[in-house]
C-alpha cells in the first residue's frame, strides 16, 4: 500500500465545514491539533504576531489524495479563508496499533 499523510494548517473557523467535507469524502478519521504561528498573513494587531490555527492530519491511500485535497481546497474557498497551507508526504510505514 502506498500511504500518504495529508497535513493542512487552517484557521479555526474553517474546522466545522472542513469536517463535513472530509466526511463527504469518506475519510475515516483525522487528528486535529491547535497550533500557533505566523506566516504569510501575520496578525499585526497582536504584539507577538502569532495566530491560533488548527493542524489537521490524516492518512490515506495515494489514489485518494487528489479528491481529499480538492475537498479541503473547496472548503477553504467556501469559507473564504485567505490563510492556510497543505502538504502531502509519503509515509514509509504505518502501523495500526489497535489491530494487534
pLDDT tens digits for range 45-81: 767 777 889 999 999 999 999 999 999 999 998 888 8
Question: How far is the C-alpha of 10 from the C-alpha of 31, rounded, in Å?
Answer: 13
Domains of the chain: total = 1
Question: How far is the C-alpha of 30 from the C-alpha of 19, rounded, in Å?
Answer: 9
Residue 21 is classified by DSSP as H
Read off the C-alpha cell for 92.
Answer: 514509509
Tell me the CATH number at 80.
Answer: 3.30.70.120
Question: Residue 78 sits in which domain range?
Answer: 3-86
**pLDDT for position 42:** 62
**Is residue 75 assigned to a domain?**
yes
Which residue bears the cell 504561528? 37
**Is residue 73 assigned to a domain?**
yes
**Is residue 44 assigned to a domain?**
yes
**Is residue 36 assigned to a domain?**
yes
Amino acid at each position: 500500500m502506498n500511504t500518504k499523510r495529508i497535513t493542512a494548517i487552517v484557521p479555526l473557523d474553517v474546522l466545522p465545514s472542513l469536517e463535513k467535507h472530509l466526511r463527504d469524502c469518506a475519510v475515516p478519521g483525522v487528528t486535529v491539533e491547535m497550533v500557533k504561528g505566523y506566516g504569510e498573513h501575520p496578525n499585526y494587531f497582536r504584539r507577538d504576531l502569532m495566530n491560533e490555527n488548527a493542524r489537521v492530519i490524516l492518512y490515506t491511500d495515494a489514489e485518494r489524495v487528489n479528491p481529499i485535497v480538492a475537498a479541503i481546497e473547496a472548503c477553504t474557498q467556501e469559507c473564504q479563508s485567505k490563510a492556510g497551507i497543505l502538504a502531502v508526504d509519503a509515509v514509509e510505514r504505518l502501523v495500526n496499533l489497535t489491530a494487534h
